[in-house]
Amino acid sequence: MLRVGLTGGIGSGKSEVSRRLAALGAAVIDADKAARDVVAPGTPGLAQVVDAFGPGVLGADGALDRPKLGEIVFGDDAARAKLNGIIHPLVHARMRDAEEQAIADGGDSAVIVHDIPLLAEGGRARSAGFDLVIVVDVPPEVQTDRLVRLRGMPARQAAARMAAQATREQRLAIADIVIDNAGTLADLGKRVQEVWDDLRVRAAGER
């Protein structure tokens, strides 16, 4: 069994790599999905968020209004720390349960990929104890172009989002494997296949 951390900056194409690894047979555990699930309507997590930040963070349908919550915590370290103190333990518990299920399903040869956007922040890669870490890498100018051109994000907002994450150098410093995604989708597909072949060998205990 091989435990892999997968990360990359916003606009790097990490989610595309995650999808391709899942299609090849990896058991992918998505931290973003887990974070959404733990604050779904009716969950204790959502109740804790409302207690901490008030009913104004709810939409008309009773679901969490993420843009409103983002306005509160973005740029406010204390508020963001409060939110993380609620969300992170719940997400970790959900991901741990998902990993146990993946091990039960895949046995000793399972390749379990934890898709975690902020893995390079705060020493999380070391504390998570992954067998290896994959970083999806693109130059900052490519990130900016994708966020502005493909997502329609204002340039100032794109810069702020990138600045709130680890630097490219910090991500590369934790990488055991780097996937360069500055090229075409065909280039990416070839590289992901190479990485997947390597992961299967490692999971089988060969070197």
Whether residue 191 is predicted with pLDDT greater than 80 in this model: the reply is yes
- For 82-117, letters b (16+ CB in 10 Å) and e give bbeebbeebbeebbeebbeebeeebeeebbbbbbbb
pLDDT of residue 43: 95
pLDDT of residue 173: 94
Summarize pLDDT for 71-116 with one digit per residue, the tens. 888 778 899 899 989 998 999 899 989 988 888 887 667 899 999 9
Summarize pLDDT for 149-181 with one digit per residue, the tens. 988 889 988 998 899 899 999 999 999 999 999
Mean pLDDT of 136-140: 96
pLDDT of residue 47: 96
Whether residue 186 is predicted with pLDDT greater than 80 in this model: the reply is yes
Specify whether the CB–CB gap between 146 and 11 falls below 8 A: yes
pLDDT of residue 105: 81
Domains of the chain plus CATH, in order, are: 2-40+98-203 (3.40.50.300)
pLDDT of residue 135: 97
Whether residue 143 is predicted with pLDDT greater than 90 in this model: the reply is yes
What span, in angstroms and rounded, lies between the C-alpha atoms of 59 and 158?
Answer: 25
pLDDT of residue 207: 43
